Amino acid sequence: MLDALPTAFLFFLAALILPILPRGPLRSLLVLIVPVVAGLAVYALPMGNLVQAEFFGFTLDLMRVDPLSRVFALLFCIAAFLGGLFAWHLRDTVQQVAMLLYVGAAIGAVFAGDLVTLFFYWEGTAISSVFLIWARRSEASYFSGMRYLTIQIGSGVMLLAGIILHYSATGSIAFDAMTLDSPASWLIFIAFGIKAAFILLNNWMIDAYPSATVTGTVILSAFTTKLAIYALARGFAGTELLIYIGAATAVYPLIWAQLENDLRRVVAYALNLQQGFMFVGIGIGTELALNGAIAHAFVGVLYGMLLFMTLGAVMYRTGTSRATDLGGIYKTMPLTALFCLVGAASISAFPLFAGFVSKSLIISAAAKGSHYVVWGCLLLASAGGFLVCGLKVPFFAFFSKDGSLRPREAPGHMLLVMGLTAVLCVLAGTNPTALYALLPYDVSYQPYSTGHIITQLQLLLFSALAFALLLPTRLYPRPNPTVNLDFDWVYRRLLLGAIGLLAIPVRGFFRALDRFKAGPLKALIRTLYNTYGPMARTSQFWPTGAMVLWIAILLGVTLLVSYAS
Amino acid sequence: MDNRTPDNADTYPALGRAFLWLDRPGGAKAVRYTLFILCALLIVADFVFYKKGYLPIEEFPIFYALFGFFSCAALLICSVVMRVILERPRDYYAPTDGALEPSPQEQAAKVDHHA
């Protein structure tokens, strides 16, 4: 029965039903059950274009099921389940409905077989997810949500422009592999790049994720960027440019992540850096590399959610995720601390943890392709990423100096879901064949060789050594309660300033106009009024007969004209 | 708010108490020395075990250890320098950006989590 219904509609249906249900656990249960049903349905789906619809003369493929789309749809179902469980305590209709719509749109986009369907869902993810930010109901989150929405809709508009150009050039709306040889494909590429957080297009991610609610951040981190990874893997696999974009994206956030005080922003930077690895994998485009990128997206969702969950739990209990306000809370939140360490080990690619088995696929692919510089960048990003997420986040959140904070341990459902996600991270790390089996290509790759384990441990532990040696000195950038300028300064300040400059002549023109209206124009009107107005001199001496005379003259002229013509 | 209960280590969860040695004098030192020993062992292991690399530079002895240490040290020092240029006050973009909000737990105070 579920074959005939696009999986996304399950979520939309649930979003319709949810507000009718009584507020309480029943709603949370619905949010939890839908991904399970959807996941089982996706797992059982046969391959092929299952559902088609007619739309203004186009045939839309709503359900293109192939190994690539299926693995992402499964991933999104798992993520939706984990996010739903984390949000079990939530009694906020807005967030619950937004969550369902957002997940539905993301899954719909993954299954979209044509660009028009993709566009609708692409915008759907943007519009539904912004409510997870606004649901925090603070002024800062309102503006952050506005920036997020502007950028995301911008991506959608570029996608639409690209689709229109693509259609007018080729007459096809099919969403298949493209090459960067026309304005159309460039527009689509950049639209994907905005959502995927390419270097310099990435600031929305760091801005928006930590502005969302405790649960919203967990949900946001799983879908938008990974949807874009899917879209890039589908449309631009093997595009060489992506390799260099990826290397730059992986290295760029390192310094900012070091300086950042808000630990949720630090994690956002670290996830952005991991996106770079995936771009490299997609750009190389061999089966090994593509598998690596997809595997990395898969585990990236898991450890990204895990890290945001642990910090979300901390924030839930203490009201802050700033490094300067936290510290020493491992004493009363030990399980949360433990799960954070698992997430940190996973994102840092410690052997036996999730990131190890996926990251090594990509780095090996880069080395095999003899991309020396790129390989070096990825290695640097691995080491620096560990410094940031593996050491800084757990250290300053849970250990560090002992503050006066003695929060209670996270609520039961949060512990349960964090534990579950941590187990998944370890399972993926210890049992890579199960993870690899989900991937679209058959690749025999063995991440666990003695040499590889030793070199990876060397990389990580000597990074830790640098951390340990520099931490007590002034050479370590200890977190300060400040803002650090990033590229978003360009549009939050520079462009704003440029508009301010542009406004000077415009303002000058309108001021001059105002002055003219207040001065000479008013005087002129007053003079005219005084001369010809009802009380004016001229009206007093104006006989009624003059009027009749003029009408007679006018009629005479009319008569002459009509006679002559 | 129950964030600031009287500080009595006996009220901590068992797992939390198990790690209290970290806070004792010498705790951090113990962690650091363990790290030194592990690093030394890894250097030894580098020469003992065979490792297969794709690139010639990977054959260089303890390449990964050197890379990890020096790149991270450089990164940290770079960050300290960059901070001079990049750092701005908390309310640089908007006065509300840095403001402390009520804790989400307080907002959700009426919710029964064990429902």
**Percent with pLDDT over 90 in chain A:** 73
| A310: nearest Cα among A394, A190, A251, A407 | A394
Model pLDDT, residue A549: 87
Cβ contacts (< 8 Å) between A364 and chain B: which residues?
Answer: 54
Determine the 3-state secondary structure of A467 from DSSP: helix
CA atoms within 13 A on the CB side of A323: 26
- My answer on whether A339 and A412 are in the same domain is yes
| Residue type (1 letter), B93 | Y
Candidate from A256, A259, A317 with C-beta closest to B105 = A317
Point out the domain boundary residue: A454, A481, A508: A481
Residue A71 domain-assigned? no
Model pLDDT, residue B107: 47
Candidate from B5, B52, B73 with C-beta closest to A466 = B73
- My answer on whether A457 and A524 are in the same domain is no
Q: How far apart are the C-alpha atoms of B110 and B114, rounded to whole Å?
A: 12
Cβ contacts (< 8 Å) between A399 and chain B: which residues?
Answer: 22
Residue A11 domain-assigned? no
Residue A190 domain-assigned? no
Cβ contacts (< 8 Å) between A384 and chain B: which residues?
Answer: 71-72, 75
- My answer on whether A520 and A432 are in the same domain is no
Nearest chain B CA: its distance from A388 CA (Å): 10
Contact across the interface for B72 and A317, Cβ inside 8 Å? no
User: H helices of chain B, where?
Assistant: 14-18, 27-48, 63-86, 104-107
Contact across the interface for A480 and B87, Cβ inside 8 Å? yes
- My answer on whether A377 and A344 are in the same domain is yes
Between A and B, how many residue pairs show a Cβ–Cβ distance under 8 A?
233
In chain A, helix, strand, coil percent, each to 5? 75, 5, 25
Q: Which of residues 167-196 of A touch B (CB under 8 A)?
A: none
Nearest chain A CA: its distance from B32 CA (Å): 7
Q: Which of residues 49-108 of A touch B (CB under 8 A)?
A: 89, 91
Q: How far apart are the C-alpha atoms of A140 and B99, rounded to whole Å?
A: 9
Nearest chain B CA: its distance from A299 CA (Å): 23
Phi and psi at A266, nearest 5°, equal -60, -45
**What average pLDDT score do residues A136-154 get?**
92
Taking only the tens place, the pLDDT of each residue in A62-102 is 999 999 999 999 999 999 999 999 999 988 999 999 999 99
Q: How far apart are the C-alpha atoms of A261 and A521, rounded to whole Å?
A: 58
Taking only the tens place, the pLDDT of each residue in B58-84 is 878 889 999 999 999 999 999 999 999
**Per-residue b/e over A270-279, b at no fewer than 16 CB within 10 Å?**
bbbbbbbbbb
Candidate from B9, B46, B79 with C-beta closest to A255 = B79
Nearest chain B CA: its distance from A334 CA (Å): 5
**What average pLDDT score do residues B4-25 get?**
76
- My answer on whether A397 and A329 are in the same domain is yes
Say yes or no to pLDDT of A541 above 80: no
Contact across the interface for B69 and A331, Cβ inside 8 Å? no
- My answer on whether A284 and A324 are in the same domain is yes
Model pLDDT, residue B113: 42
Residue A256 domain-assigned? yes
Q: How far apart are the C-alpha atoms of A62 and A117, rounded to whole Å?
A: 7
Tally of domains in chain A: 3
Contact across the interface for A315 and B104, Cβ inside 8 Å? yes
A48 bridge partner residues: A65
Q: How far apart are the C-alpha atoms of A229 and A92, rounded to whole Å?
A: 30
Contact across the interface for A254 and B75, Cβ inside 8 Å? yes
Determine the 3-state secondary structure of A174 from DSSP: strand
**What average pLDDT score do residues B21-49 get?**
88
- My answer on whether A546 and A494 are in the same domain is no
Say yes or no to pLDDT of B100 above 60: no
Residue B24 contacts A, CB cutoff 8 Å: no
Q: Which of residues 71-100 of B touch A (CB under 8 A)?
A: 71-73, 75-80, 82-83, 85-90, 92-94, 96-100
Residue B29 contacts A, CB cutoff 8 Å: no
Residue A109 domain-assigned? no
Q: Where are the domains of chain B?
A: 9-49, 52-86
Q: Model pTM? A: 0.89
- My answer on whether A439 and A520 are in the same domain is no
Residue A85 domain-assigned? no
Taking only the tens place, the pLDDT of each residue in A158-205 is 999 999 999 999 999 999 999 999 999 999 999 999 999 999 999 999
Instruction: Tally Cβ neighbours within 10 Å of residue A287.
Output: 14
Model pLDDT, residue B102: 55
Contact across the interface for B104 and A319, Cβ inside 8 Å? yes
Q: Which of residues 50-69 of B touch A (CB under 8 A)?
A: 50-55, 58, 62-69
Nearest chain A CA: its distance from B97 CA (Å): 5
Say yes or no to pLDDT of A300 above 90: yes
Q: How far apart are the C-alpha atoms of A469 and B73, rounded to whole Å?
A: 9
- My answer on whether A315 and A461 are in the same domain is yes
| A310: nearest Cα among A277, A264, A346 | A264
Q: Mean pLDDT for chain A?
A: 92
Q: Range of A556's domain?
A: 537-565
Say yes or no to pLDDT of A555 above 90: yes
Q: How far apart are the C-alpha atoms of A267 and A276, rounded to whole Å?
A: 14
Say yes or no to pLDDT of A240 above 80: yes
- Strand A483-484 to B87-88 pairing: antiparallel
Ranking A272-286, A374-388, A511-525, A536-550 by mean pLDDT, the lowest is A536-550
- My answer on whether A450 and A518 are in the same domain is no
Candidate from B69, B82, B96 with C-beta closest to A140 = B96
Q: Which of residues 459-478 of A touch B (CB under 8 A)?
A: 459-470, 474-477
Nearest chain B CA: its distance from A291 CA (Å): 19
Contact across the interface for B65 and A462, Cβ inside 8 Å? yes
Q: Which of residues 492-511 of A touch B (CB under 8 A)?
A: 492-493
Q: Mean pLDDT for chain B?
A: 78
A52 bridge partner residues: A61
A65 bridge partner residues: A48
pLDDT band at B115 (very low <50, low <70, confident <90, very high): very low
Q: How far apart are the C-alpha atoms of B39 and B42, rounded to whole Å?
A: 5
Chosen for mutation from B69, B77, B84 (greatest number of chain A CBs closer than 10 Å) is B69
Structure tokens at A63: 């359900």
Nearest chain B CA: its distance from A312 CA (Å): 10
DSSP symbols for A85-115: HHTTT---HHHHHHHHHHHHHHHHHHH--BH
Model pLDDT, residue B101: 60
Residue B33 contacts A, CB cutoff 8 Å: no
Ranking A150-154, A252-256, A359-363, B23-27 by mean pLDDT, the lowest is B23-27
Nearest chain B CA: its distance from A7 CA (Å): 30
Contact across the interface for A451 and B52, Cβ inside 8 Å? yes
Residue B39 contacts A, CB cutoff 8 Å: yes
Q: How far apart are the C-alpha atoms of A251 and A479, rounded to whole Å?
A: 20
Cβ contacts (< 8 Å) between B35 and chain A: which residues?
Answer: 461, 464-465, 468
Model pLDDT, residue A24: 86
Contact across the interface for A454 and B53, Cβ inside 8 Å? no
Residue A455 contacts B, CB cutoff 8 Å: yes
Model pLDDT, residue B110: 41
Contact across the interface for A387 and B72, Cβ inside 8 Å? yes
Cβ contacts (< 8 Å) between A143 and chain B: which residues?
Answer: 94
Say yes or no to pLDDT of A33 above 50: yes
Taking only the tens place, the pLDDT of each residue in A61-71 is 999 999 999 99
